[in-house]
């Protein structure tokens, strides 16, 4: 089993087609490594609370930087003191390894 730190060391790869969609067992194994991440409407999702809007924007910018670097872009919803990030891979019509790699990268950055 790969832990989240090993996941965070990986990089996203171009994935297309249903053969790259993770099976439910794989999703269950991977999500167990990411505390606080859940499945909501078929997306890998997590919400964070922050002290103020400045912290929110700093975090959103960090997520945007990571998304550009990995060429894998989440849905991001934010407000005054909260951020929700949700991943899925449109080209595979579900969850792929890229979603979990990016989630693990966010967790690794939060640990700094």
8-27: per-residue pLDDT in tens? 999 999 999 999 999 999 99
Q: Going from the N-terminus, what domains does the chain have, and what CATH number goes with each?
A: 4-111 (3.30.1360.20)
The answer to whether 64 and 102 have CB atoms below 8 angstroms apart is no
Vertex 82: Cα angle to 77 and 87 (nearest 5): 40
Please count the other Cβ atoms lying within 10 Å of the Cβ belonging to residue 68: 10
Q: pLDDT by residue (tens digit) across 38-92? A: 999 999 999 999 999 999 999 999 999 999 999 999 999 999 999 999 999 999 9
């Amino acid at each position: 089993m790969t832990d989240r730190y090993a996941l965070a060391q990986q990089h996203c790869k171009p994935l297309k087609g249903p053969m790259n969609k993770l099976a439910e067992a794989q999703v269950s194994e991977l999500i167990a490594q990411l505390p606080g991440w859940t499945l909501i409407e078929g997306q890998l999702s997590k919400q964070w609370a922050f002290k103020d809007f400045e912290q929110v924007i700093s975090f959103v910018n960090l997520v945007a930087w990571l998304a550009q670097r990995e060429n894998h872009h989440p849905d991001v919803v934010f407000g005054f003191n909260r951020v929700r990030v949700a991943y899925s891979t449109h080209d595979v019509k579900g969850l792929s390894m890229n979603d979990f790699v990016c989630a693990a990268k966010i967790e690794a950055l939060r640990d700094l």
